[in-house]
Amino acid sequence: MLTIFNTKHLSWVDGGETSLNYYEMFADTTTDMPSDVYHFSTVTEKYKISQGSLVYVISTGDMYMMNSSGSWIKQ
């Protein structure tokens, strides 16, 4: 399970169509982490996970941060 602990809108990107957001999240395992930067997008709304967003993995105690390429890097 993935839980969003904190989120902050940073700016509009892609011509104002996409909300770029910073997230702090908790995941039970690494397989619960968002799989891509548009993980929270819907049919009508687009959200992009920003560089520096964090995921805390409860089962291992590890923390991951998103880099500028959209990959999760273990800290």
Concatenate the DSSP letters of all residues of 24-71 into one string: EEEESSGGGS-SSTTTT--SS-EEEEPTT-EEEETTTTEEEEE-TTS-
Domain that holds residue 32: 2-74
Q: What is the pLDDT of residue 68?
A: 95
> Which pLDDT value is given to residue 71?
97
**Predicted confidence (pLDDT) per residue in 17-70, tens digit:** 999 999 999 999 999 999 999 999 999 999 999 999 999 999 999 999 999 999
pLDDT reported for residue 48 = 98
Name the domain count of the chain: 1
pTM: 0.92
- Report pLDDT for 41: 96
